Structures are given as C-alpha cells and as structure tokens.
Amino acid sequence: MPENSTSPQHVRTRFAPSPTGFIHLGNIRSALYPWAFARSRQGDFILRIEDTDLERSTQAAVDVILEGMAWLGLDHDEGPYYQMQRMARYKQVLAELQAAGHVYPCYMSVAELDALRERQMAAKQKPRYDGTWRPEPGKTLPPMPEGVLPVLRFRNPQDGVVAWDDKVKGRIEIRNDELDDLVIARPDGTPTYNFCVVVDDIDMRITHVIRGDDHVNNTPRQINIFRALGHEPPVYAHLPTVLNEQGEKMSKRNGAKPVTQYRDEGFLPDAMVNYLARLGWSHGDDEIFSRAQFLEWFDLDHLGRSAAQFDEAKLRWVNAQHLKAMDDAALAPLVAAQLKARGIEADERLPAICGLFKDRCDTTVALADWARAFYADVQPQPEDLAKHVTDTVKPAIATLAGKLAGVEWRADAIAAAIKETLAAHGLKMPQLAMPVRVLVMGTPQTPSLDAVLALCQREKVLARLSRA
C-alpha cells in the first residue's frame, strides 16, 4: 500500500464490491456514499475488488463496476486492488496471528460438524462450533486424526461484548459468547472472507466502513480480528437495503438492471447521483441538487434507517429536471452519442435542437428520438396524415412551400411566411401548423413551428412538404 502520512482525521473510505453479478443501483449506492464522504472531507476513496469467490467472479462483472463508476464520476484515489493478488499478504498476517496464539488448528470433519449441528438443533440450541479443538490451559485436546488437513479457527474472546456506534443503526452490542470461533483459513491454507476484509481495511488504513447492512453480522467478528491484530476498528455505517418496485430486495435475480444500462437508456450521471443520494439520505426537503451541492451537504448523520424503495418514475422525473437545467452545449455530445448508436451523425445544429426539445424529454434517448427527425427521414403515421393533411389545407401548404423556397432561412423570416400564408388562405395557426408538423417532423405536437423549421434544412422541409 502507498505510505502517505495521514493524520487521524484524514478520512479514507472504500468500496469493496464482489464481482459476482452485474452491479445494480442498490450496489452502486454503497459506492456513492463512501465516495461522497471521502470527497466532502478531502479524504481518499479506495476501490477494492473482492474476487476471492473464484467460481462466481467474472471479468465482465469487474468491467461493469469500473465502467459504471467511471460513468457516474465516482473516481477512486487508489486501486482497484484485487484480493486475489493479495493472497501472500493475507497468509503472512495469518502466520503472525497464529504465532501470537490467536489462531488454532481444528480437525473436526464435516461429518462431525454436521452431527454437532444436528444435536444442537435437536436440543433447540443455536448451531455453533463447540470449541473441541480450542486449546486451553490444562485441557487435553482429542487425538489428532491421521492425514486430515485442519482448518484454522480464530480464538474469539469468550467474555464481554463487542460494541460499536453504527452511524446508521446506533449502538450495537453483541455478547462474545454468542460468537463461535470463526474459520479463517481453509484446509488448503487459503484465508476466508472476513479475515481478508480486516487485513485489507487495516492495510488500506480505512477510517470509515460504509457498506450494506447485509454485513452487519460480520462486523462483531471483524472487530475482534482487528483487535487481535492490534488495531482499533474503523467507524461503521451499515446502509439499509434498497428494495425494488415490488418491495423485494433489489437483486439481478429479480430483474435489477446493471448500472451501465441506465447510461444506455439516456440517464445523466448527475441525475443518477442525485437520485441515488436521496435513496437513503436526505438534506431537508431538497429533491433536486447538483453534485457539488450533494458533496457540500453529505454527512453520515442523515443516513436513513429504513429500507429505501426504488421508483423508476421518480428517477425519470429527477433525470428530466437535470436535463432541463443542463447546458445545451453539454447535452449535445450525450445526444450525439445516442444518435451515433443509431447510425446518425449529428452536426452543429444539435445544441439548438437540444435547447428546443429538452423541456419535453426525460432522457437523452427521448431527446435523440426528436433530434432524429432533423437528420434522418420521417415516416408520418397514415392516421395523422389523413386527419391533418386534408384537401382543404393542401393549397395553403403549397403556398407556404413556395414562400419558404425564397425566404432567408431564419425563424423570424419563416414566421412571417407562415403568417402571410394564413392570411392568404383565411386559416388559423393550428389548421396550418398541425399538417406542416406532421409532414416535416412526423408528429402534430412540436415546439414553436418557426423554430423547428429553422433548425431543419430548407431542402428537407421543402421535400417533406411536397409529399402533401
């Protein structure tokens, strides 16, 4: 690990995902808060990939983590560290722990453990390891079986309590006699999960562990390992679960999308950060805020205690607010990327097109749907043509086309041509505007007609009007 000089107040947080499935919004919120806490305290944010589950970890899942975090702007100062690359270090610390007498070999076979569990269940006791191989002064251990490789167990303290002041859940106290001696190394010598986490959190000098509350049961065990290694544990904040729209724990098994899919569906990183921030944290009644405001306001004292429920309609609304507030020049490249995915090259008109349509869109995909009409052919619906482009209005459309062929191509000149046409044919604005919109944009509902036509090229407008 890099050796910076750190004062006790120097905040260091981490996000430690397991790449065993595509990271979804519920997971990424556990990255957002430690990131925000580090950024708002001028601290460091560390990314650590917990890839020791070799069967379930995949590179594709790592890629979604890295891509998703980069997209959301959750930049890390150190890492990504990969636990699989730190095995030698874990084994070294394990040896130290063993030398200090905190670890002992246990030769109990799986069959014996099963039998023990059954006896305990029959006696209505909590299944737990009974300490058979735990050395004690004056105790005679069973004879060592031949040819059996032992697991290593951590000698958990037997008296007192493990307690911590959780930033979300308040004070939690667990009696040590409720914790049995945890296996911290398998028969082949590989260290187990809880041990690796503690070694990492020590080596990475983590000051605040902010993670999902599915880990709250691991915390007392981890705290005891911290102390056995001569370290005080960090501050803990265990975040409540994120539920999906059906009220179940969000998981990819019940349809949660990978984070990167929201990018592809046209959501803005700042809107996602805003929405996710509110999913478990609040600042008064503020619903819409910028990334900078969030970082200014974020603290661990206003984390919500109850499970938060994902609401796609609200996410869309938050996205629409950010879209509206966003600078057209900043929006254009995002919409250009959406157009490019459809094989359309945008041009310098795109910022103005964004400006004209962003109020009626909730994603950059919806914006690209509009922008498309300025670059690619439109196919008006036969019903719209039948309804709006009637024989009565066709002569007026021809008059307008004639005028548009000669005007200077600017909104005010176009507006004047429309007005003259209306006067010449005794029509009201909607009678002409609706059919022209259907022909030119493929739909009767658009922003102000002169502005729309001005952004469409003259040749395109004339060609489309000539289909009347």
CB nearer to ligand GLU: give 203 or 265.
Answer: 203
For residue 4, which of 204, 235, 199 has the smallest C-alpha distance?
Answer: 204
Please, what is the minimum distance in Å from the beta carbon of residue 176 to ligand GLU? 21
Residue whose Cβ sits closest to ligand GLU: 211
Please, what is the minimum distance in Å from the beta carbon of residue 80 to ligand GLU? 13
Residues in the chain: 468
CA distances from 178 to 101, 105, 161, 233, 312 (A): 21, 21, 9, 20, 41
CB nearer to ligand GLU: give 184 or 353.
Answer: 184
Please, what is the minimum distance in Å from the beta carbon of residue 439 to ligand GLU? 55
Please, what is the minimum distance in Å from the beta carbon of residue 135 to ligand GLU? 30
Q: Where are the alpha helices (DSSP H) in 256-393?
A: 259-264, 269-278, 291-297, 312-325, 328-340, 350-357, 364-375, 382-388
The CA-based angle 115-133-106, given to 5 degrees, is 80
CB nearer to ligand GLU: give 76 or 464.
Answer: 76
Please, what is the minimum distance in Å from the beta carbon of residue 217 to ligand GLU? 12
Please, what is the minimum distance in Å from the beta carbon of residue 17 to ligand GLU? 5
Are 59 and 27 in contact, with CB atoms under 8 Å apart?
Answer: no
> Residue 24 phi/psi, 5° resolution?
-115, -175
What kind and span of H or E run contains 226? helix 219-228
CB nearer to ligand GLU: give 50 or 450.
Answer: 50
CB nearer to ligand GLU: give 48 or 278.
Answer: 48
For residue 210, which of 74, 5, 27, 22 has the smallest C-alpha distance?
Answer: 27
Measured CA to CA, the distance from residue 284 to residue 221 in angstroms comes to: 36
> Residue 108 phi/psi, 5° resolution?
-65, 130
Please, what is the minimum distance in Å from the beta carbon of residue 18 to ligand GLU? 4
> Mapping DSSP to helix (H, G, I), strand (E, B) and coil, where does residue 82 land?
strand
Chain residues in the site for ligand GLU (CB under 6 A): 16-18, 50, 197, 211-212, 215
Please, what is the minimum distance in Å from the beta carbon of residue 253 to ligand GLU? 15
CB nearer to ligand GLU: give 17 or 435.
Answer: 17
What kind and span of H or E run contains 212? strand 208-212
Are 38 and 44 in contact, with CB atoms under 8 Å apart?
Answer: yes
What kind and span of H or E run contains 195? helix 193-203
Question: CB atoms < 10 A from the CB of 175, how many?
Answer: 13
CB nearer to ligand GLU: give 52 or 338.
Answer: 52
CB nearer to ligand GLU: give 118 or 214.
Answer: 214
CB nearer to ligand GLU: give 197 or 308.
Answer: 197
Which letter does DSSP use for residue 249 in this model? B
Please, what is the minimum distance in Å from the beta carbon of residue 50 to ligand GLU? 4
